[in-house]
Amino acid sequence: MKLVTVGTVAFDNIETPFGRADKVVGGAATYISLAASYFVRDQGIVSVIGDDFPQGMMHRMRERGINLDGLELMPGKESFFWSGKYHYDMNSRDTLETRLNVLQDLDPDLNPAYRRAEYLMLGNLDPAVQAKVLDQVESPSLVVMDTMNFWMDNALDKLRDVISRVDILAINDSEARQLSDEHSLVRAAHAIMEMGPQYLVVKKGEHGALLFNKKRVFFAPAMPLDEVVDPTGAGDTFAGGFIGYLARSGDHSFNNLKRAIIVGSAMASFCCEKFGVERLLELKQEEIDLRIQQFVDLVDFDIKLVRE
Amino acid sequence: MKLVTVGTVAFDNIETPFGRADKVVGGAATYISLAASYFVRDQGIVSVIGDDFPQGMMHRMRERGINLDGLELMPGKESFFWSGKYHYDMNSRDTLETRLNVLQDLDPDLNPAYRRAEYLMLGNLDPAVQAKVLDQVESPSLVVMDTMNFWMDNALDKLRDVISRVDILAINDSEARQLSDEHSLVRAAHAIMEMGPQYLVVKKGEHGALLFNKKRVFFAPAMPLDEVVDPTGAGDTFAGGFIGYLARSGDHSFNNLKRAIIVGSAMASFCCEKFGVERLLELKQEEIDLRIQQFVDLVDFDIKLVRE
């Protein structure tokens, strides 16, 4: 299998200053795999759902080429549920409620095809579960990992262990500062790369994303949108576009990682245009190409130095 | 005269989570003119100081080619004073104290050379004073204006009047949202351009800057720095590099405005490296060229579209 993603599959209640949506399908693995599906057909997800999860969404995911053999159904139980409320600036939010439900019993046992995954995406989840998946995938050519401050507060040793084993860590700016105990993102990046990953991606929401290796840095903006309806899942969608593009192209050079960042940013911009995963179910290749061209135009300049 | 800037010349007390500096020379006109001095020799400032202002700084400004005929000295009075404290994220700050002192008596009467200014920079100041300067400059080829939320709260009618008469407004993101009453920066930009300016520059501090006209948008990042010592004056320094570059090149096309944004961003990045204007007094042309090249490298990518 080309790509395997472990992460949550969930229901979300979302409230923004401009609207709300209840019990929409969300979860890291859902957003990641849907975004990646525009670049990779041969992918599967590792997650767990209750019998409240809608068959219709599973059908639509399969239609997009996502293998659901790794999606365990636990009868008589409820799917993971998250409820959150965005502040006016939409770059910060409060979690109102988290019900783990089936998630507390997730104990992945990957089938042989999944174990031969070439690309592995460790979506935000208990690092103990991320480690179990990492242990089972035999020889991935690239491992990308997301996490969040909750695991830094509550499972730092296990988290550091997983971080030491991945190629690319993709987290947000406040998490990078917390993990490294450095205020400067430049210093934070270098401290985190000392922990193991060859690359760090710093996601800054509406303020774009940074890519670091030990020698270079690249910045991609977020697309300025007329309207941000719902930023939920934008970071996961970014990760899905990012690893999907890398898996499709098979090129892990810094220059190709830059392209993957742009692709991830383009996919994330679509995610924000509607509530939940809706936009990721309906994209046309022409829309993606056009959005990527808009990113080219957004940052393109040629400099002619003039001096006093 | 090529460029005239009206704005404050001041003393600042600055406190950051990592250090503090007392009674350093600051003020919008100081930062703007020093940044512009790397691109334009024939420039003057319109402002006011008390007799507490250090002769040494005036000497150093003159050495950088800044004409001080428009800098009025009010004997027996004190210079404008501002005191502020930065939060941990350094992108927001609290004003602890403002003493207007001489500033409340500023009533500009420009000499003939100043009245023939080709480029006019209206630094953040009472819009009534900005209007008086604008009235006296006979036929500027380009007028750039900065302002802040204080004038939106306290002098909106006068402010709107000045805004309607300038070519380019350069304000920060929260000010753009307040002025337009739009949350989306894209919508805010278009609402503000309806008020008169042909271009809007949205300064986002460590998150970069956006340039809008009615048809196009351009984004420039801020340079990721190892250490931000003091962001005070970075927005003014940006404006000084921006208008200085435009005045030097004489090209007001969108493509050249993009270059001016990059130059302004480069100058602003230097400003943050030390307290006050210190860094702007000592820059070498090679450092500026190198920093601009770093901006080129920071955002440069070529995209190869791959598809599923």
Q: What is the pLDDT of residues B107-124, one digit of tens each?
A: 999 999 999 999 999 999
Q: pLDDT value at position B90?
A: 83
Mean pLDDT confidence for B64-72: 98
CATH hierarchy code of domain B3-299: 3.40.1190.20
Residue with tokens 């947000």: A172
Among B94, B35, B102, CA closest to B71: B102
- B302 pLDDT band, cuts 50/70/90, is confident
Instruction: Name B67's bridge partners.
Output: B44
Q: pLDDT value at position B306?
A: 53
Question: Which of A261, A306, A307 should we substitute to test contact with B (largest number of B Cβ atoms within 10 Å)?
Answer: A306
| Residues of B with Cβ-Cβ distance to A40 under 8 angstroms | 308
| Residues of A with Cβ-Cβ distance to B38 under 8 angstroms | 307-308
- How many helices (H) and strands (E) chain A has is answered by 11, 14
Whether A253 has its CB under 8 Å from any CB of chain B: the answer is: no
Per 3-state DSSP, chain A is made up of helix, strand and coil in percentages (nearest 5) of 40, 25, 35
- B124-178: pLDDT as tens digits: 999 999 999 999 999 999 999 999 999 999 999 999 999 999 999 999 999 999 9
Burial class (CB in 10 A: 0-12, 13-18, 19+), A148: middle
Query: Measured between alpha carbons, how far is A253 from A166 in angstroms, rounded to an integer?
Result: 16
Query: Measured between alpha carbons, how far is B288 from B209 in angstroms, rounded to an integer?
Result: 18
Are residues A224 and B210, on separate chains, in Cβ contact within 8 Å? yes
Residue B275 and residue B285 in contact, taking contact as beta carbons nearer than 8 Å = no
Nearest CB partner across the interface for B308, out of A41, A187, A305:
A41
Are residues B39 and A186, on separate chains, in Cβ contact within 8 Å? no
State which amino acid sits at residue B6: V
| Residues of B with Cβ-Cβ distance to A225 under 8 angstroms | 184, 186
Residue A259 and residue B301 in contact, taking contact as beta carbons nearer than 8 Å = yes
Whether A191 has its CB under 8 Å from any CB of chain B: the answer is: no
Q: pLDDT value at position B304?
A: 63
Among A185, A186, A192, CA closest to A167: A192
Restricting to A residues 23-52, those with a Cβ less than 8 Å away from any Cβ of B are: 37-41
Query: Measured between alpha carbons, how far is B216 from B204 in angstroms, rounded to an integer?
Result: 18
Mean pLDDT confidence for B19-43: 97
Residue of chain B minimizing CA distance to A291? B305
- B251 pLDDT band, cuts 50/70/90, is very high
DSSP secondary structure code for residue B106 in this structure: -
Residue A18 and residue B182 in contact, taking contact as beta carbons nearer than 8 Å = no
Residue B190 has pLDDT above 60, yes or no: yes
Mean pLDDT confidence for B95-100: 94
Q: Would you give the distance in Å from CA A306 to the centre of its chain?
A: 42
Tell me the HSE value of A108 on the side-chain side, using a 13 A CA sphere: 32
| Residues of A with Cβ-Cβ distance to B18 under 8 angstroms | 183
Query: Measured between alpha carbons, how far is B270 from A14 in angstroms, rounded to an integer?
Result: 41
With a cut of 70, list the residues of chain A below it in pLDDT. 304-308
For chain B, give the number of residues: 308
Are residues A308 and B37, on separate chains, in Cβ contact within 8 Å? yes
Instruction: Write out the two tokens for A255.
Output: 């220059």
| Nearest-CA distance A31 → chain B (Å) | 17
Whether B55 has its CB under 8 Å from any CB of chain A: the answer is: no
Mean pLDDT confidence for B35-55: 97
Q: pLDDT value at position A169?
A: 98
Mean pLDDT confidence for B17-23: 94
| Nearest-CA distance B36 → chain A (Å) | 9
Q: pLDDT value at position A92?
A: 86
Restricting to A residues 122-181, those with a Cβ less than 8 Å away from any Cβ of B are: none
Are residues A307 and B207, on separate chains, in Cβ contact within 8 Å? no
Q: pLDDT value at position B91?
A: 81
| Residues of A with Cβ-Cβ distance to B303 under 8 angstroms | 259, 262, 292, 295-296
| Residues of B with Cβ-Cβ distance to A218 under 8 angstroms | 298-299, 301
Q: Would you give the distance in Å from CA A238 to the centre of its chain?
A: 5
DSSP secondary structure code for residue A93 in this structure: E
Nearest CB partner across the interface for A259, out of B40, B248, B304:
B304
